[in-house]
Amino acid sequence: MQRAVFLDRDGVINHCFVRGGVPHPPQALVEVGIEDGASESLAKLKSAGYLLLVVTNQPDVARGAQTQAIVEAINNQLANELPIDDIAVCYHDNADNCDCRKPKPGMLTSLARKWKVDLHHSFMIGDRSGDIHAGEAAGVRTFLVDRPYSKGDQCRPDFRVQSLSHAADIILTLAHVSPPDGQSKP
């Protein structure tokens, strides 16, 4: 069994765009920007032996506001720039009542089966309450990257952090793994 870090995409790995207090994904490849420290943090987690599995809701496809081709192009760009092992996408909207759309754990449990992941020794990092609920339902420890839109009052993450980098540092400390560069963490 392998350990994994499940990651939300928009607002955790790459920038999202907040309009009217609501986060939105990039609409085109030119809008994709990696969050500060994300590349280095993912590299450290990968070096420590964690699978890096992205789980992302992309309901704008079902709503007709985005194409699946653009979402896949963005995912491919991220996978080419970062040490990501796999990406699961839910293209459904709330009304579809699917098993894969977070806050349901379907994407996490599906990837866990595919990659033979030990969920009890794995983590979910997200920036919204739905990410935390999905992680809890899957049986992983959870990190909420606190953002103004996170709805943190609607969930109980194991950890509240300011960034993916902060979450990675905690995971590496919990696992008693030294960073690859040999520096000790506070």
CB 142 within 8 A of CB 23: no
pLDDT at 176: 67
pTM: 0.92
pLDDT in tens, 7-19: 999 999 999 999 9
Instruction: Give me the catalytic one of 8, 127, 131, 169.
Output: 8
Told to judge if 10 belongs to the known catalytic residues of this protein, a careful annotator would answer yes
| Domain presence at residue 185 | no
Domain-located, residue 182: no
Domain that holds residue 105: 4-174
* Count of domains observed in the chain: 1
pLDDT digits (tens, 9 = 90+) for 100-125: 999 999 999 999 999 999 999 999 99
Catalytic position from the list 10, 127, 131, 169: 10
In a domain, 186, yes or no: no
CATH number of the structural domain spanning residue 99: 3.40.50.1000
15, 23 Cβ separation under 8 angstroms: no
- Answer yes or no: 60 catalytic: no
* Within-domain flag for 179: no
State the virtual CA torsion across 75, 47, 42, 2 in degrees, nearest 10.
70
Q: Which two tokens stand for residue 70?
A: 């653009």
Residue 153 CB-density burial (10 A; 0-12 exposed, 13-18 middle, 19+ buried) = exposed
- 29 is a domain residue: yes
Q: Is residue 76 part of a domain?
A: yes
Give every residue of the chain whose pLDDT is below 50, as ranges.
177-186
Burial code of 123-138, b = ≥16 C-beta within 10 A, e = fewer? bbbbbbbbbbbbbbbb
Does 183 map to a domain? no
Instruction: Tell me, yes or no, whether 181 lies in a domain.
Output: no
